[in-house]
Amino acid sequence: MHGTFTILGLDFPAYFTMLMAGYTAVILLGHRDWLARGRRNNLILDLGIILIIAGLLGARLMHVVADGQFNDYVNLCVDPMKVEGEPLPGDRKCVKDQQCVDARRGQVCKADTGLCHQKRDCLRALKFWYGGLTFYGGLGLAALVGIVYIKRRRQPLWEVGDLAGFAIPLGLVFGRVGCFLAGCCFGTTCATPPGLAFPKGSPAWKLHVDQGLIAKSAAESLPVHPTQLYEAAACLLIFLWLYFFVRPRKRFSGQLFFLFCMAYAVARFAIEFLRADQRGEILGLSTSQTLGIPLFLFGLVMYIVYRRKGIDTTGLEAPVEAHPAVDEADRAGQEDDGNG
């Protein structure tokens, strides 16, 4: 497992690299599906650029505020020495700053402890490429921005939402594989398969050292549930179900998105019971579990309401092409934005 990819001599964080690869894939897939529906504008490509910015901001903000690491980000700006330091490989103590830099354990050596620390960085809370993104925060802000943009373009909201319904879980597959490569979002100890051990210096190893479960000389953590891969598998199944089974049989606009909200909320809620990393807590549940409850209820209520509205007397949704108002809005959107 590697925390970074080295491409042309440059190091790229594994999590961020996989996240961007997944986002690119889902935007291209959504754009192709949009064109296949007879749309003749670049709404999905334009929306993709806007939502990546909104999603990253929302996900990062939620992480900083709600994942239990707010004080560390404050201390990195005020007094970095208050943030827990790291020893050099082999539990060696540092003597000079360059040792920490060479070992990628920080930039400052604290002489009295021999531990490496990060230098003062008041912007670290904004540097999402180091990891630390909370999905529900990104989903919330991206949804708000997306709704405003789609309405201004006078495009059918839930038709676009259905593209997100199958695109988001596919993107999450890439993102969770990135989590696995970075070692974050790990699970509780699991002595039998599928338990996996993470290498020395990984988040799981650090937690087990802090809990006294292993010695600092241990080469790896105790085996833990690979919850990153559990969620990747769950999201892959959700994508395959929505894209290949539900989409060809869709009966009303919004169906795929509402089903995604329910399916993901249930899968995430269950997997969170196996998570062991620090991520915040509300009323005995993790932050993600707490937010998953209203997400599930939203999907359920909207599914019931729009199912009743979207089905005619034959039980089938009227095709989009049969609605002149929608087609006219589509053409107006093209004229407004200069897209052919």
Q: What value does the mean pLDDT of the chain take?
A: 85
Burial group, residue 307, by CB count within 10 angstroms (0-12, 13-18, 19+): middle
pLDDT value of residue 33:
92
**Mean pLDDT value of segment 261-268:** 97
Does the pLDDT value for residue 115 go beyond 70?
Answer: yes
List the beta strands (DSSP E) in the chain: 4-7, 10-13, 108-110, 115-117, 281-282, 285-286
pTM score, whole prediction: 0.77
Reading phi first (left if > 0) and then psi (alpha if -120 to 50, else beta), residue 53 is in alpha
Quick one: average pLDDT of 332-339?
45
Distance, in Å, from the CA atom of 187 to the CA atom of 4, rounded to the nearest integer, reads: 21
pLDDT at 13 over 80: no
Q: Looking at the predicted structure, is the pLDDT value of residue 339 above 50?
A: no
CB of 76 within 8 A of CB of 118? yes
Is residue 72 scored above 70 in pLDDT? yes
Give 336's contacts (C-beta < 8 A, 6+ positions apart).
153
Confidence of residue 4 (pLDDT cuts 50, 70, 90): low
State how far the Cα of 231 lies from the Cα of 338, in Å rounded to an integer. Answer: 40
Mean pLDDT, range 200-215, rounded to an integer: 90
Residue 256 is predicted with a pLDDT of: 97
pLDDT at 300: 97
| pLDDT > 90 in the chain, percent | 50
- pLDDT (tens digit, 9 = 90+) per residue, 215-258? 988 999 999 999 999 999 999 999 999 999 999 999 999 999 99
How many whole angstroms from its chain centre is CA 204? 19
The terminus-to-terminus CA distance of the chain in angstroms comes to: 45
Is the pLDDT reported for residue 333 higher than 50?
A: no
Mean pLDDT lowest for which of 68-77, 246-255, 316-325? 316-325
